[in-house]
Amino acid sequence: MHFGYVHVYTGNGKGKTTAAFGLAIRAAGNGYRTFIGQFLKGVKYGELEIERFTNGIVKVKQFGKPDFVHKITEEDKILAKKGFEECKKAIFSGEYDIVILDEINVAIYFKLIDTKDVVELLKTRPEGVEIVLTGRYAPEELIEMADLVTEMKEVKHYYQKGIEAREGIER
């Protein structure tokens, strides 16, 4: 089996992180190890339990504050840079078949991480490590480099009716 493709899941619709975690579950079921770095997220989401359910074959690390980002702070920048370095280590470690950089596109959009650093990482990554980049606002450079790009398009969402994020569904 050939590994080493780059996926981008972007767009304003729901499901980017969900798709990435679905891929991690499918991979785990086939014995493949996945590292997931979550940028701008520090809130306890249900998906954090994946480590327990997969006996650690999927590892998740969050690089965000425990509250929703309303205004970017210096702490957000520090956490994003730390997260990017940890994801790079995971990519080059030889321990993982898949590395998911969840919400990396949003971190780039907010200028917490430079697009050129992500481009350089993709160019120099070891052969055979599958990379998944999620989040709205994927920069054109990453879309061009990717082997697979999926854009989630919001057609209708119950948030528009005032429905809050629900445990087990959105968080």
What pLDDT shows up at residue 112?
A: 96
Question: CB neighbours of 129 closer than 8 A, spacing ≥ 6?
Answer: 3, 4, 91, 96, 97, 98, 99
The CATH code of the domain at 6-146 is 3.40.50.300
65-108 pLDDT per residue, tens: 887 677 889 999 999 999 999 999 999 999 999 999 999 999 99
> What pLDDT shows up at residue 98?
98
**CB contact burial 85-94 (16+ within 10 A = b; e otherwise):** eebbebbeee
pTM of the full structure: 0.93
Residue with tokens 């996945």: 34
Other CB atoms closer than 10 Å to residue 154's CB: what's the count? 12
Tell me the domain boundaries of the chain. Answer: 6-146
Contact present, 30 and 40 (Cβ < 8 Å): no
